[in-house]
Amino acid sequence: MKNAVKFSGLTALGASLFAGLPAWAQEAAATTAEAATEAAAPIVDKGDVAWMMTATLLVLFMIVPGLALFYGGLVRTKNMLSVLMQTTVIAAIAMVIWVVYGYSMSFGGGTSPYWGGFGKVFLAGVTPDSLAATFSDGIMIPEYVFIAFQMTFAAITPALIIGGFAERIKFSAVILFVILWLTFSYFPIAHMVWDAAGLIYNHGAIDFAGGTVVHINAGVAALVAALVIGPRVGYGKDNMAPHSMTLTMVGASMLWVGWFGFNAGSNLEATAGATLAMINTFVATAAAILGWSLMEVMTRGKASMLGAASGMVAGLVAITPACGTTGPVAAIVLGFLAAIACFFFVTTIKHKLGYDDSLDVFGVHGVGGIIGAIGTGIFAAPSLGGTGFIAEGGTMGAQVYAQILGVVITIVWSAIVSLIALYICKAVTGLRVKEEEEREGLDLTSHGERAYNL
């Protein structure tokens, strides 16, 4: 009897244990699923977010006041305010258009190799919880900060172009040209270079922070504009020296500081990649200043502040596409070589060809961007301290070919769009102010104000 009772108790205990197994299994499965979900969940690091917000503001600092003062000091007194106004309004136009349709055309998620589509027009579907990818798997940043960061690139690029036609263009023509050029040149090229579906991206070209998208794109547009609009009244005869090298130096210095947001910010994370871009932005620029100054001493016996400022910008431009993939020593070489090439182009080739690129946008941004973009394919070599090649084939030759292809596509695309846009402006608003207005100065004739009360 005792054995029967005992057996009955054991049976009841076993039954209760087995009855609990489904619950344990469900709990274990839930725990496993939860762990898997947590492992797959994207990570948003507050440090990355804070850095990208800071980088975005640094790029804005490059535009106003940096670029505005740099260009403003280079023109004559009577046109100082017009350059400030053009820079400011261009930035404002670009920011609004970027939100309306520019971001969508650049990064809208479309599969076309030429543009991103209209999927994110008016930022459709974007919320404070939306995330954008970085270069690290599983690491994300808020999409709004990515949108704002890229918006500052779209704002400064057309502002660079005004140096090609400064002191002689109608304000209404500037506005119309910028709208057309952003729509049909900047947004498509940004997509082609930086979006995973883009034409140039899929050829394996490296453009870390905008050598093609920003500098070659704007430099070619400025050259086309200078040729179509023609030289300033009195070009080659009147004194057209910069009216304030002090302001130009202040503006150039602001550009250098802001450029750390431009270059290191393009890493999208506060990691070692950003520090590489940072040190390269220091040393390539320093080498370019020395290179340009040395060329001046060798050719004219004196180093000028204008030359040092020009070398500064040339170095910044050249290292932009290469800053995330080049070692610091190679960055010094790249900056030095770019300064020499830009110096030669600005002081010799431009004068031989006779066109009036007022503030040497093509000579510095175009030429410096081309050298930097192609040099990226060389100095990415691990044997030279670089991070390696990404073009199919994995060789220097394959990478240089991809870089040249990206450069050629950008030059042709920007030139065609710029030419068409200029002739549309000529038909709709006219391009140049009247000769008497140009002689009086655009400050008064276009804006009814003076930069200085003399």
48-60 per-position pLDDT tens digit: 999 999 999 999 9
Which pLDDT score, from 0 to 100, does residue 347 have?
96
Mean of pLDDT values over 305-333: 98
In angstroms, the first-to-last Cα distance of the chain is 121
- The tokens for 41 are 């969940």
- CA 123 to CA 116: how far, in whole Å? 13
Kind and range of the H or E run holding 133 = strand 131-133
CB atoms within 10 A of CB 219: 30
Q: Which residues are paired to 43 by β-bridges? A: 139
What local confidence, expressed as pLDDT, does residue 143 receive?
A: 98
User: Is 166 in contact with 159 (CB distance < 8 Å)?
Assistant: no
Distance CA 290, CA 150 (A): 31
pLDDT (average), residues 66-90: 98
- Tokens representing 220 are 């070619």
Q: Are 408 and 212 in contact (CB under 8 A)?
A: no
Tell me the pLDDT tens digit for each residue of 259-314: 999 999 999 999 999 999 999 999 999 999 999 999 999 999 999 999 999 999 99
User: What pLDDT shows up at residue 453?
Assistant: 84
Confidence class for position 13, pLDDT limits 50, 70, 90: very low
Here the tokens at position 71 are 């260009």
Average pLDDT estimate for 94-102: 98
Say yes or no to pLDDT of 409 above 90.
yes
Is 80 exceeded by the pLDDT of residue 28? no
Q: Check whether 12 has a pLDDT greater than 90.
A: no
Helix (H) or strand (E) holding 84: helix 80-97
| Rounded (10°) angle between helices 46-61 and 143-161 | 20
Least confident span in 10-19, 41-50, 442-451: 10-19
In the numeric block, which tokens belong to residue 233? Answer: 């009244």
Residue 41 banded pLDDT, cuts 50, 70, 90: confident
Secondary structure class of 303 (helix, strand, coil): coil
pLDDT of residue 31: 52
pLDDT at 5: 39
Q: Are 88 and 64 in contact (CB under 8 A)?
A: yes
Instruction: List CB contacts of 247: < 8 A, sequence separation 6 or more.
Output: 69, 70, 72, 73
pLDDT at residue 26, rounded to an integer = 52
Give residue-wise pLDDT tens across range 174-231: 999 999 999 999 999 999 999 999 999 999 999 999 999 999 999 999 999 999 999 9
Question: Tokens representing 367?
Answer: 């030429």
According to DSSP, residue 434 is labeled: P
Q: Note the pLDDT tens digit of each residue in 355-387.
A: 999 999 999 999 999 999 999 999 999 999 999
Is residue 20 over pLDDT 50?
no
Per the structure block, which two tokens stand in for 174? 């500037």
Backbone angles phi, psi at 120, to 5 degrees: -125, 30
Q: Full-prediction pTM beyond 0.85?
A: yes
Nearest-angstrom CA–CA distance, 52 and 98:
18
Largest CA distance in the chain: 126
The DSSP line for 354-400 is T---TT-HIIIIIHHHHHHHHHHHHHT-GGGT-----STT-SHHHHH
Asked if residue 94 has pLDDT above 90, the reply is: yes
pLDDT for the residue numbered 249: 98
Q: What is the pLDDT of residue 3?
A: 42
Question: CB-based burial of residue 240 (10 Å sphere; 0-12 exposed, 13-18 middle, 19+ buried)?
Answer: middle
The CA dihedral of 258, 262, 264, 267, to the nearest 10 degrees, is 160
Q: What is the distance between the alpha carbons of residues 420 and 398, in angstroms, rounded to a whole number?
A: 33
- Report the C-alpha gap between 351 and 374 in whole angstroms: 25
Distance CA 110, CA 277 (A): 30
SS3 236: coil
| Residue count (the chain) | 454
Residue whose structure tokens are 């999927």: 119
The pLDDT value recorded for residue 25 is: 45
From the list 223, 247, 236, 265, the residue with the least C-alpha distance to 306 is: 247
